[in-house]
Structure 1
Amino acid sequence: MFNGTRKRSFVWLTLTLALMLVLSACGGGNTNNSPAVDNPDNAGSGKKVKLTMFIWAGSNQDTVPKEVVAEYVKKHPNVEVTFEESSNSVMYPKMVAGKQADPNNPIVNFGYFNADATAKGLNDDMWEPLDTGIVTNMKDIPEQFHTSDNKGIVWGVSSFALVYNKNLVKTPPTSWNDLWDNKEFKGKSALWDYMFYSYLSPLIAVKGEELGASYENPEPAFKFWAEHSDQIGTLVTSNDQLKGLLDSGDALIAPFSAQVAQTWIDGGSPLAVAYPKEGAISFPYSLQVVKGSTPEQQKVANEIINELLSAEALSRYAEVTGTPVTSTAAAVPDKYKNDPSFSVEEQSKGINPDWNALAKSSSAWKEQWDRLVKTKL
């Protein structure tokens, strides 16, 4: 699925994460303090192992995890799983706050996390190692998608490209430069607030040398966006908000997940995806168990993660969300066989953000964004 260049990119990503040892609950919340049992399968005790799972909201991201969990609970009646549905940008800060309040009572026990949250979690000591004796389906995922300490597993790789309204955009974008320089998009670009890898990482990759901008010295990139702030029409915080803006034409373009956008297109949205000539942003997705969960909760979480990593579950996830998966046992759905995001050639061109630097510098980058850019919006 991935050629040599791609593999080297992910070996780098994995090593970066390994070297680092790299949403408030609106609903049910976690229940670590409720009675637990030594054996989750012991239906006779009347006690339950209760967990909260984090999943992404919208765009069919909930379909497979809810199906897999429902099947698991049917076979394990002493297990109860509730769901928190949101975005990592919203949920992760709440997880950090929850850990600070009570490290033994995490807001969520396990779930789906993107590369940004994964790197921050490694930096914040947020993850438990996966139990390789339970998560045996890891064997079908190439080593470059594992971390040396098994604090999570990369099961899918999205591509962040340029999503635009094809009915209203006269000339389709071809380059990341279109995002900040194209006059057709003046005041009509939608950016995800604080999702720096989607608009600062490509800027650093494309114009970093010219601007003197780098991950170690990002201020020139923030100043550049400040000078081009008239391109920005809206800052968004949810998939549904972004979809509504693009569908209506209130926004004409956004750097966003090509896979999520494809589900919108399949549903009838008047959108298209352009893969910039400089390459899309490579964006790994992981499954993780959250530190502070009880041994019983960890066991159940590992068992469910193993089911989520099965060839059948990953193939179905790819089918309903358009996300390329990493398992060598999972089949590429027919409807995506010609999708550029599943293409080895396209994936090999990917821009790989420095997730380590982004995780360690998160607060500083937010301060510069707020001070230099948001004050001009």
Structure 2
Amino acid sequence: MRLTRRDFAVGMTASIASMSLPRIASAQSQLVVPTYGGLWAKFWEEQLLPGFSAATGIQPQIDVGLGKDFVSKIRAGGGRSPYSVFMGNENIAAMLRAEGFFEPFDLAKVPNAQKVFPQFVNKDAAGIRAIVSPIGLAYRTDLVKTPPTSWHDLWENPEFKGKTGLYQIGNTGAVLFLRLVAELFGKSPDDFDTAFSKIKELLPFTQASWSGEVATALMRGDAIVAPVDWTEIMVLQDKGAPVAIVAPKEGVLAFEQSFNLVATGAEKEAAHAYVNYVIDAKVQQDMAKAFYTSPSNKESVVDEAMATRTPIFGDRMTEIKSYDWNSYVDKSAEIADRWNREMA
């Protein structure tokens, strides 16, 4: 998931906004939370964490990095994790969960979880998918005569042959698309043989390792249609690019940032308070304005201007296909290897 380059208002008092929040945890730190770089870190440092501290009196520290860094640090931590809370795509979180690194939340300590759309609270409180960035079908408005309305159009619209862009298997977007195709054409989201067979029918297609590369392919005309997150297309539209994005009639995919309680992390009470704050209705609204995400809190308000650009909110959140990744964990390495061999 890649965030918008839009500037956003801090919305905090000067005294709160001026608080110093170190990026990397020190040996004396207690509540340590990871987040990504760039505008993720900017949002966390200037808005989210100061607001959290003002509301709770807790002074967290953040560790800025990539998802793979967070995974490595948790696995290398032995009996003590550097983090109290893990944040990462749900399919990645599922692997660490299967390895025993997480424990369930006590939802009595996360009252805002009752306001989260049920599909984003994992069974037995084993993770909360707190930040949701829908993935639809984007296309070049100046190069496509018949805009897509269905995922099936990737196969059925002859305009798209050889001009489709897809994520590379190292990106969660590719795994989401694989499971979607398995569901659409096969017996279940785990019918990978059918999914591989159908996706190979789209060859040749442009592969990208992250959303920015999908955007580049679209702007170059190497691809004229591609599954990509709303955030990326809104950024391009803000720059005047001839692109649009639609929600296919079968539903949309989404990058779901999963928050999990680390079993060997410190400050469990503070960790619960932190996640509770992240899913607060106002915080989710602020994220939507900054990042074009879809609020996971049912009480968040999306204004009219935002609603016309990012329509997946409120009742339409049910259009998001949120998969159970437990069945995928043991297959992930095999699937990645197969993709790299067959999707050249």
Distance 1:318 1:128 in 2: 28
For 2:30, the equivalent position in structure 1 comes to 49
Displacement of 1:332: 2.0
Displacement of 1:354: 4.6
Displacement of 1:271: 1.7
1:30-49 matches, cutoff 5 A: 31=26, 34-35=27-28, 48-49=29-30
Displacement of 1:259: 4.6
Is 1:205 equivalent to 2:168 in the alignment? no
1:41-94 per-position Cα deviation (integer Å, ceiling 9, x unaligned): xxxxxxx43624124x66x555543311134457889845234254xxxx24x4
Q: Residues 99, 111 of structure 1: CA spacing in aligned structure 2 closer, same or farther, 3 A cutoff?
A: closer
Distance 1:202 1:143 in 2: 20
Q: Secondary structure at the match of 2:251?
A: coil
Which of 189, 209, 226 pairs up with 2:200? Answer: 226
> Structure 2: where are the runs of 5+ without partners?
1-21
Q: Residues 347, 305 of structure 1: CA spacing in aligned structure 2 closer, same or farther, 3 A cutoff?
A: closer
Is 1:274 equivalent to 2:249 in the alignment? no
1:277-334 per-position Cα deviation (integer Å, ceiling 9, x unaligned): 332236644322333322x3x3433333222222221111122222222323321223
The number of equivalent residue pairs is 318
Displacement of 1:273: 0.6
Tell me how large the CA RMSD over aligned residues is. Answer: 3.4
Which of 61, 64, 69 pairs up with 1:81? Answer: 61
Instruction: Say whether the 8 Å CA contact 2:133–2:229 is kept in structure 1.
Output: yes
Is 1:65 equivalent to 2:37 in the alignment? no
For 1:331, the equivalent position in structure 2 comes to 301
Which of 332, 338, 344 pairs up with 1:368? Answer: 338
Q: Residues 168, 81 of structure 1: CA spacing in aligned structure 2 closer, same or farther, 3 A cutoff?
A: farther
Q: Secondary structure at the match of 1:154?
A: strand
TM-score when scaled to structure 2? 0.76
Is 1:115 equivalent to 2:115 in the alignment? no
Distance 1:76 1:136 in 2: 14
Q: Residues 307, 277 of structure 1: CA spacing in aligned structure 2 closer, same or farther, 3 A cutoff?
A: closer
Which of 234, 237, 240 pairs up with 1:262? Answer: 234
1:309-367 per-position Cα deviation (integer Å, ceiling 9, x unaligned): 222211111222222223233212232334531263x5445545453323332112112
Distance 2:281 2:250 in 1: 32
Distance 1:185 1:68 in 2: 41
Task: Among all aligned residue pairs of Structure 1 and Structure 2, give the percentage whose two residues are the same amino acid.
Answer: 24
For 1:178, the equivalent position in structure 2 comes to 153
For 2:6, the equivalent position in structure 1 comes to none
1:9-68 per-position Cα deviation (integer Å, ceiling 9, x unaligned): xxxxxxxxxxxxxxxxxx96655xx23xxxxxxxxxxxx43624124x66x555543311
1:237-280 per-position Cα deviation (integer Å, ceiling 9, x unaligned): 22333333323333322212235533443454432112223322
Is 1:98 equivalent to 2:70 in the alignment? no
1:158-186 per-position Cα deviation (integer Å, ceiling 9, x unaligned): 43211122233333222213334544334
For 1:129, the equivalent position in structure 2 comes to 104
> Structure 1: where are the runs of 5+ without partners?
1-26, 36-47
Distance 2:255 2:34 in 1: 21
1:276-315 matches, cutoff 5 A: 276-281=248-253, 284-294=256-266, 296=267, 298-315=268-285
For 1:192, the equivalent position in structure 2 comes to 167
Q: Residues 325, 189 of structure 1: CA spacing in aligned structure 2 closer, same or farther, 3 A cutoff?
A: same
Q: Secondary structure at the match of 2:105?
A: coil
Distance 2:217 2:80 in 1: 37
Instruction: Say whether the 8 Å CA contact 1:168–1:252 is kept in structure 2.
Output: yes
Is 1:167 equivalent to 2:130 in the alignment? no
Q: Residues 252, 110 of structure 1: CA spacing in aligned structure 2 closer, same or farther, 3 A cutoff?
A: farther
